Structure 1
Amino acid sequence: MTSQDTSSRPRPEPVPVPAREIPPASLARLTLYLRALNNLLADGVERVSSEELAGAAGVNSSILRKDLSYLGSYGTRGVGYDVQYLYRQISAALGLNQDWRVAIVGAGNLGRALAGYTGFESRGFEVVALFDADQMVVGSEVGWLRVSHANDLEAVIRRTRANMVVLAVPASVAQELCDRVVASGVSSILNFAPVVLQVPDNVQVRKVDMATELQILAYHAQRAQHPEIEPGSSARTAN
């Protein structure tokens, strides 16, 4: 299946928020189902079985049915799921029927790449501001965005009505900038800095640590290359 730009697709219609809190693992898989459904919609598919949707998302069909049960959606036996309805249902459960306006702090290579990523808009996220502290960078343009000075962070957040912030900054300044973001009223932060941020209980922080993910990949690659290695064992050396 191939995906295409779906920015012109109507926003999901309001669907009741699930009464039960969705477990973190199920929540993460819902994003996989949404991506698969997005591809199905792009291909003009109207109905899909649980086995087909699970296969497209890379999970077991029984796990998929359990995850969808948190939304009150079980599909129809022998008929499957209505793709458009399920897409709207999951989108609403994830809060994607709201306006999410994203500000990116840090206009280095990572920040610029994120600001230029076209996939955000098609998934309900609009990048409205980009910040940096480097005078050589401030005022430059990334797409349609002009880089604002970090000193103006609070004012620009208010003006653009940003309600999510991505921190793509060095660890040494991440906490200070996080504090300013929180003081500006933003309670949803995606952190790429290699540091644990301290925030109030009402603030949600998601941490993206690419080095950690690479280390986990290295572990699995080593296990695949050397299946004889026992967990916790040390390498044997010749006498």
Structure 2
Amino acid sequence: MPPLTNGQGALSPRAIPEAAVARLAVYLRVLSGMKEQGITTVSSEELSVAAGVNSAKLRKDLSYIGTYGTRGVGYEVEVLIDQIERVLGLTREQSVAVVGIGNLGHALANYGGFPGRGFPVTALFDVDPDLMGVPVGGIPVNHIDDIASVCAAKEITIGVIATPPAAAQVVCDRLVQAGVECILNFAPVVLQVPETVEVRKVDLAVELQILSFHQARRADSAPSGETAPQPRSNGRVNGSPRHSVENRPNGAVVRR
């Protein structure tokens, strides 16, 4: 059985709860912003407010990586950034491939925020012959038949699947065969992968459905007699033209 700690009081990455890992990524984003602003130390209360969690949960999360701060001072921003980056594996070189250069693939390839976070997109793949060799975000598009050779040459560590659902499993299989062990899947399907491969699924429709559920629950719990505000469109309320009303001194009412 592998050790649960790294010998320095911190849990090994595999022993940290997944929910805590997700929050560590949020803390890192917040801390990076603080560093850019010249902030050198931060209290747990300040960091928890900025990250949108309670301070007790934040301190628990940071204890997983072996850091407890200094009483009366808090945490050194730069040191904490280094610790979180090490736990999240961001001190290693990453290289990302995007498969499926439709609207979503184009957006991902052109997004400038990935390189700064340590995830440069270095390879693009599609099956459309009109896209072959065309640069998107400065990177030429390759055919998916070349996934194995290009992934080896570019040392791809993460594959992003942005294909239609029917093609996702085939693409996933090719990425796995090319040695890619981390996959981010935007296709609304469940991928079958070996146990050694980590898959994260992003389904925007599901997220919208969850938001719809919360909206419906709030509406159902509203006090009787209260109604939600009606949407406005082109100066209309409930489908009728919206007027301003002005009372004149002579008692006349003028609608505008």
1:192 corresponding residue in structure 2: 186
Paired residues of 1:18 and 1:93 also in contact (CA < 8 A): no
Which runs of no fewer than 5 residues in structure 2 stay unpaired? 1-6, 224-256
CA distance in 2, matches of 1:191, 1:143: 20
CA–CA distance in structure 1, aligned partners of residues 64 and 106 of structure 2? 37
Counterpart check, 1:106 vs 2:100: yes
Q: Hey, what's the Cα distance between the residues in 1 that align with 2:33 and 2:216?
A: 34
Distance in 1 between the 2:34 and 2:222 partners? 42
Residue 183, structure 1, aligned to residue 201, structure 2: no
Runs of 4+ aligned structure 1 residues displaced above 6 Å come to: none
- Cα offset, 1:150, TM superposition: 1.2
Letter of the structure 1 residue corresponding to residue 12 of structure 2: A
**TM-score, reference length from structure 1:** 0.87
Aligned identity (percent) is 53
Moved more, 139-148 or 61-70: 139-148
Mapped partners of 2:219, 2:24: distance in 1: 32
Shift of 1:139: 1.8
Aligned residues: 215
Name the structure 1 match of 2:54: 60
More contact order relative to length (CA 8 Å, sep ≥ 6): 1
Distance 2:65 2:137 in 1: 37
The match for 1:41 is: 35
Question: What is the CA-CA distance between 1:59 and the residue it aligns to?
Answer: 0.4
Deviations 1:113-169 (A, max 9, x none): 011111111111111101110112222111210111112111111111111100000
Give the AA of the match of 2:171. L
How far did residue 187 of structure 1 move?
0.5
Normalised to the residue count of structure 2, the TM-score between the two structures is 0.81
Moved more, 78-87 or 145-154: 145-154
In the alignment, the residues of structure 1 paired with residue 44 and residue 79 of structure 2 have an alpha-carbon distance, to the nearest angstrom, of 14
Corresponding position of 1:205? 199
Are positions 1:69 and 2:84 aligned together?
no
Structure 1 residues 19 and 139, CA, compared in 2 at 3 Å: closer, same or farther? closer
What is the alpha-carbon root mean square deviation over aligned residues? 1.6
Indicate the structure (1 or 2) with the bigger Cα radius of gyration. Answer: 2
Tell me the distance in 2 between the aligned counterparts of 1:139 and 1:226.
54
Structure 1 segments unaligned to the other structure (5+ residues): 1-14, 230-239
In the alignment, is the contact (CA less than 8 A) between 1:115 and 1:127 conserved in 2? yes
